[in-house]
Structure 1
Amino acid sequence: MPPPPSPLPWWRRRRAQVAVATAAVVALSGGAVALLQDREPGRPLAATPSASSPSASPSATATPTPSPTPAPSTVPEARAKGTLPTVKRLRADDRWALSATASRASTPRPGAGVPVVYLVADDRLDLGWAAVPAAAARGGSVLLTRGDRLPVTTKAELERLHPAEVVVLGGTRAVADRVVTTVERVASVTRVDSDDPLAVARAVNRAAFPTATTAWVASAGRATDLAVAAATAASRRSPLVVVAEGARSLPAADAALLGDLGVRDATVVGGTKAVSSGVADALDRALGGEVTRAEGADRAALAARTHTMAWGRATAAAAYVANGDRVTDAFTGAVLAGRVGVPLYWSLVHCLPAATREGVLADTVARVTVLGGEGSVRSLVDDLTPCRSTEDPSSQWVLVNKRNGLSPRSFVPKDLKVVPMEHSGGHQLRADAADALAAMARGSREAGAGTVGIDTAFRSYETQDALYTTWLARRGRTWADTWYLRPGFSEHQTGLTVDLLPIGRSSCTINDCIDETPQGAWLARNAWRYGFILRYERGHTSTTGVGFEPWHFRYVGTDLARAYREGGWHTYEEFLGRPAAPTY
């Protein structure tokens, strides 16, 4: 419960109240002792070498962890010296509109009409993967629909395409009869009346491919494998065979289908956990040609390997990029990439994995199209920004909250230095963050906003433990967990976080009300320019697990900070697409 009434709001009185408490002495391992000193409200703790400086004698569990050596660049040498490919976004208001937008991009002038459109329910994409290469082979398109009604954007695109036939995939539980009734006003409708993804794929392949010499094979349980396989098969105008995940052998119905089509060669997309060696062996026996497998350490590497097998070393002039965690975007990306005949790569929500970045920066790639809006992929992807770890404590992008503690818990940054600014109080940050903070402090003064000082910056595991234990005893767990992170779970331990306070004439003399000062207002508007984000904004405790702290700024680098601001984000968890962390 909040404290009793006072002239200041209770959350603003937090530090004023705790700052005048009795000093606490906490014994550290190895006999070292740290003193949590009393202080005036809002004033910084005095630097305590044994608790806040790597120059102190560390305990056996607090050995400084070196920063990792940067990985060698995967950018081709010619590309590194030249210009980057042109990057554009393909976005829409929702998944159905994005599907229609992709259809317009791949079929800008349908003329008198297209031969076929396959209609797939957005919540039954498992029924639609084989339709991607089937539509490409027949010169048609694939559109998403709601299962219960036809979206306006989908209907408009159907009318524009003016198909001779619409093939609805799935039974009435997947696509309701009312949808079919609406579609019948536009074109003749054929329903593949089955809710079994394998059976639907066979029916689609038989209808679309009179003959074929090659086929692609992927597991029904791996959406990103299926998307890459579907896009590649579509680019080659070859069928996609969908098999049950972990099946020990190739079903007789699929063997018969491949035999009837005259398929001789096949490429399996995915490792043996997705498509077993038994299925690959059965394909080898049934086809009599060459059966190859595309594998990778992760989805990005698998996609890159698949494209290399299909296109050779970077012969495509364009590429599509989608967030593999957004299955509907992945599906639409497969439709578009397959229809146009270029590779489909995977991004994370906020960056490009190494394998993807190498692929899109190949010398021949002149255009990259990113699918989805800000909710699907952040603007860092448009910038072709390489991924950094969000788990390595030495990474500038590390995520630390109640669900994501530091590993090791006793982590100490290697490159701590005293921040080179006035009113630093001797506090330390990592070198890059310290220099950025000094520049930000100068910026505040030069803009006429006033001077800022440091309340606290790097805090060691031992210092955080002492702080948390002290206030746990004084105020209870609910209060302590709202305002102090447990040791090993605090951003302060990364050396990338600082608590700032206003210096000089002001009605605010503690950092709790810094947001009501010219300095605080300037910081809120401009911190991103120096690579900082306001980490704990008002109204987002249910996501961050921490109360509103207008003084708490986290260094993430200028690229990420800019993307964070431009995207309108309010929590680092949501920016990274990670779960909320209200509790431990």
Structure 2
Amino acid sequence: MVSPASSMRRARTTSACAAAVVVAVLATPGSAVAAQGGDPDSRERIGTAAGTTTDGAGAAAFAARTTDRIAGADRYATAVAASRAAFPSANPAGLTTVYLASGTGYADALAAGPAAVASSGTLLLTQSNKLTAATASELRRLAPDRVVVVGGPGAVAGKVLDDVRAIGLPASRVSGTDRYATADAVARQAFPAGARTAWVTTGRGYADALAAGPAAGAAGGPVVLVDGNARGLSGATRRLLTDLGVTTVRIAGGTGAVSSGIQADLTGLVGSGSVTRSAGSDRYRTAIAVSHLAFPSLTKGDTYVATGTGFADALAVGVLAGRSKRPLYLSTPYCATTTVRTELSRGVFGRLRLVGGPGAIRGLVGTLTPCQSISSASSPWVVVNKKRPLSPLRYAPSPLVGPSLPNINGQLLRSDAAAALADLAAGSRSAGAGRLAMLSGYRSYSYQSSVYSAKVASSGVAEADKWVARPGHSEHQTGLGTDVSPIGAANCSSYTCIGSTPQGRWIAANAWRYGFVVRYESGRTSTTGYSPEPWHLRYVGKPLAQDYHSGGWHTLEDYFDLPDAPRY
């Protein structure tokens, strides 16, 4: 009997895996890689190129810093964690206002962040129809003079205000007819004496405004949302900027985010030398451009990094960043691109603070590990399953070698996987778990075709598809997938019962230490498409395997935010 190919992953968007608010210390240095970009609110294509490292100076700079995580069990608890980092003591002196916004929509909270900085307060998130328990607890701890709910009843229901009042705090609402009018109202309330600087961002997407929030807060001004596709500035925004006395306007995002017509009108309003645009080819580079403009002469200190593919976690930490006049960067969820890695290797960043749990931003971002392709057949991170065939279908890796352990069928593996498997087998033996043999390794397209056809002939297509990958969809073709079998295990003479042996239990607990994951775990068939196979190991390299283990992941599909792949 032989094992199948890969599987796919269900998108996970929760902010954390922990059950409580945490500030967890992470780990060590690494390097990073290039990602391709897109316009604001498009999903950048990531993991499409081989990783590259930065120079030794960059690595040394990163090695000198620490990394931790600001996170909670969900987006609401993560906002609480950010609040506690900003105001560690209960009933803090000087805190007057807490802004409260929906955690399921980004628009209202974008304007509330700089307003909270200006009001010596913080920003918390809530469910739209009731006050979230974690948020209620934090409100009691902070005991502010007032709670300002941002957005109309469609965003945050009246019951939330009632819940706030029920814990003994005054609550009011600030809102407008739409997101732009709400942002206008927030700015007018938070800056009664006016503001010299305003950051203008599109209200059609969240990415650019996330980075602009701390920049605006640090400058003592608002984030002003505009319809970025409009040909020019609206009358309401003109009046707002005039009434606030704004003399300097900074635009976050390229012309695809905020039109050139809007920029021209802003120039006409405040003067040609008073409007500056910060933009990059994607949201990650735009966040860097915003940081460079807003914080040109940073001293050594913290920097904050949140996922660029979701808005929730970055919203509340923007207040913490703005209060401390430190930048907020955006990253791909599971690795640091070359651009981000280079930026974060600057010596002015003594502590890198990931925002959100592993479900939002992986530990590899914190260690600045290089991105590698999840599509290229030669990449150790490639995800191949029933929905993701190899390209080309007849891909054959090179070089292939025989691993240094008993090899039942004499098959080969890619050299990196072979060396790691030999180390794993030695580790099992030295730990007293027992000896291991390799049953199966690299299979060519033709060989996989014969294996699949034989299973179909004996059991039918439906049963074959539970156990054997179709040719072109098999991890074995990459040379990174291997099946192992116990040697000398009591009451188990076949690989199929390895899960109940000391070797199998040791593998389940320790494969990650050697760069492997158990690819098809029990209970994951709806994601991977295959029945459990405790004997099938997939080499992904030590950095990924270790992060996969520490983050509590169970499929590569989940780790890489890919859809489930139960069927072809």
In the superposition, the TM-score normalised over structure 2's length comes to: 0.85
For the structure 1 residues 354 and 313, does the alpha-carbon distance in structure 2 shift closer, same or farther, using more than 3 Å as the test? farther
Contact 1:224 1:330 in 2 (8 A): no
Aligned 8 A contact 1:113 1:162 in 2: no
Higher radius of gyration, 1 or 2: 1
Q: How does 1:306-325 map to 2 (within 5 A)?
A: 306-312=290-296, 315=299, 317-325=301-309
* Alpha-carbon distance, 1:424 to partner: 5.6
In 2: Cα distance, 1:254 partner to 1:132 partner = 19
For the pair 1:205 / 2:187, whether they are aligned, the reply is yes
| More displaced 10-residue stretch of structure 1: 429-438 or 75-84 | 75-84
Identity over aligned residues, as a percent? 43
Q: Where does residue 551 of structure 2 map in the other structure? A: 567
Change (3 A) 1:118 1:541: same
Give the SS at the match of 1:148. Answer: coil
1:47-66 alignment, distance < 5 Å: none
Q: 1:424 to 1:559 in 2, by over 3 A?
A: farther
User: Is 1:349 matched up with 2:333?
Assistant: yes
The gaps in structure 1 that reach 5 residues or longer are 1-13, 19-66
The answer to whether the Cα contact below 8 Å between 2:248 and 2:270 also exists between their aligned partners in 1 is yes
Counterpart position of 2:461: 477
Q: Could you say which structure has the greater relative contact order, defined with CA pairs below 8 angstroms and 6 or more residues apart? A: 2
Q: Distance in 2 between matches of 1:515 and 1:108?
A: 47
**Paired AA for residue 277 in structure 1:** S
Note if 1:196 corresponds to 2:166: no
Greater mean deviation of Cα atoms: 503-512 or 427-436: 503-512
2:117 counterpart letter in structure 1? A
Aligned to 1:267: 250
Higher alpha-carbon deviation: 430-439 or 453-462: 453-462
Conserved 8 A contact 1:129-1:227: yes
Report what 2:351 is aligned to.
367
Does the aligned pair in 1 maintain the 2:53–2:370 contact within 8 Å? no
**Cα-to-partner distance string for 1:466-497 (whole Å, 9 max, x where unaligned):** 33344334433212221121222211111111
Identify the residue that residue 421 of structure 1 maps to in structure 2.
405
Distance 2:514 2:136 in 1: 47
Q: Distance in 1 between matches of 2:453 and 2:369?
A: 40
Q: Which string of whole-angstrom CA distances, capped at 9 and with x for unpartnered residues, describes residues 279-302 of structure 1?
A: 222222222133222222332222
Matched residue, 2:38: none
Match of 1:243 among 218, 221, 226: 226
| Corresponding residue of 2:198 | 215
Cα 1:491/1:298, change in 2 over 3 Å: farther
Amino acid at match of 2:304: Y
Other-structure match for 1:227: 210
Matched residues in 2 for 1:194 and 1:130: separation?
A: 12
Q: Give the whole-Å Cα distance in 1 for the aligned partners of 2:375 and 2:327.
A: 30
1:75-94 matched pairs, under 5 angstroms: 77=57, 80=60, 83-94=63-74
Q: Distance in 2 between matches of 1:459 and 1:308?
A: 50
Whichever residue aligns with residue 255 of structure 1, its letter is R
Alpha carbons 1:85, 1:361 under 8 Å: kept: no
Judged with a 3 Å threshold, the aligned counterparts in structure 2 of structure 1 residues 100 and 522 are, in CA distance, closer, same or farther, namely closer
The counterpart of 2:81, out of the listed 95, 98, 101, is 101
Verify the 8 A CA contact 1:135 1:141 in the aligned structure 2.
yes
- Judged with a 3 Å threshold, the aligned counterparts in structure 2 of structure 1 residues 414 and 276 are, in CA distance, closer, same or farther, namely farther
Unaligned stretches of 5+ in structure 2?
Answer: 5-47
What is the CA–CA distance in structure 1 between the aligned matches of 2:491 and 2:559, rounded to whole Å? 34
Q: Is residue 165 of structure 2 the alignment partner of residue 157 of structure 1? A: no
1:355–1:314 distance in 2 versus 1, CA, 3 Å: farther
Q: Deviations over 1:537-579 (max 9, x none)?
A: 1121001111111210001112222222223322121222322
Q: Give the letter for the 2:178 counterpart.
A: D
Q: TM-score, normalised by structure 1?
A: 0.83
- Determine the C-alpha separation between the residues in 1 that align with 2:408 and 2:267: 70
**Distance of 1:530 and 1:195 partners within structure 2:** 57
Q: Structure 1 pair 148/113, CA: closer, same or farther in 2 (3 Å)?
A: farther
Distance 1:421 1:274, change over 3 A: same
In structure 1, the residue corresponding to 2:443 is in which secondary structure? coil
Count of residues in correspondence between the two structures = 521
Per the TM alignment, residue 433 of structure 1 is displaced from its structure 2 partner at its CA by 0.7
Residue 411 of structure 1 aligns to a residue whose secondary structure is coil
Pick one of 92, 97, 102 that aligns with 1:116: 97
8 Å CA contact retained: 1:418, 1:424: no
